[in-house]
Structure 1
Amino acid sequence: MSGRGSRVPVGRAGRLRLRRNLATALRGADLLERKLRLLLDRERVARRAAQDAGRVWRERMSEADTWLVRGVLLGGEGALAEAVPADRARVEVRWAALMGVRHPEAVSCTGPVRSPEEQTPPNTALAHAERAYRAAIRAATEHAAQQAAADLLAAEAARTRQRVRALNRHWIPRLRRELTAVELALEEAEHEEAVRRRWAASHGAR
Structure 2
Amino acid sequence: MTAADPPPVGRAARLRLHRSLQVATHGADLLDRQLHLLRAELSDLRRAEAAARNAWERLVREAGLWELRGLLLSGENALRTASAVPPAEAAVAWEDTLGVRQPGRATVVQGTAAPSTAVPGNTALTHARTSYRAAVDAAARYGAASAAVRLVETRLRSTTVRVRALRRHRIPRLQQDLVTVESALEQSEHEDAVRRRWAARQTGPSPGR
TM over 0.5: yes
Residue equivalent to 1:177? 176
Aligned residues: 205
| Worse-matched range after superposition: 112-121 or 132-141 | 112-121
Cα offset for 1:161? 0.5
State the identity as a percent. 45
Secondary structure in structure 2 of the residue aligned to 1:8: coil
Residue identity in the other structure for 1:183: E
Residue identity in the other structure for 1:80: L
Whether the aligned pair in 2 keeps the contact of 1:89 and 1:109 (CA below 8 Å) is yes
Residue identity in the other structure for 1:67: W
Whether the aligned pair in 2 keeps the contact of 1:85 and 1:113 (CA below 8 Å) is no
TM-score normalised to structure 1 length: 0.91
Secondary structure in structure 2 of the residue aligned to 1:96: strand
Residue equivalent to 1:116? 115
Residue equivalent to 1:88? 87
Residue equivalent to 1:61? 60
Q: Which has the larger radius of gyration?
A: 2
Cα offset for 1:99? 4.3
How is 1:152-191 mapped onto 2 (pairs within 5 angstroms)?
152-191=151-190
Query: Unaligned 5+ residue runs, structure 2?
Result: none
Cα offset for 1:203? 4.5
Query: Unaligned 5+ residue runs, structure 1?
Result: none
Give, in whole Å, the separation in 2 of the partners of 1:156 and 1:13. Answer: 37
Whether the aligned pair in 2 keeps the contact of 1:2 and 1:8 (CA below 8 Å) is no
Cα offset for 1:2? 5.1
TM-score normalised to structure 2 length: 0.90
Residue equivalent to 2:71? 72
Establish whether residue 37 from structure 1 lines up as the match of residue 33 from structure 2.
no
Cα offset for 1:204? 3.6
| Worse-matched range after superposition: 82-91 or 145-154 | 82-91
Residue equivalent to 1:151? 150
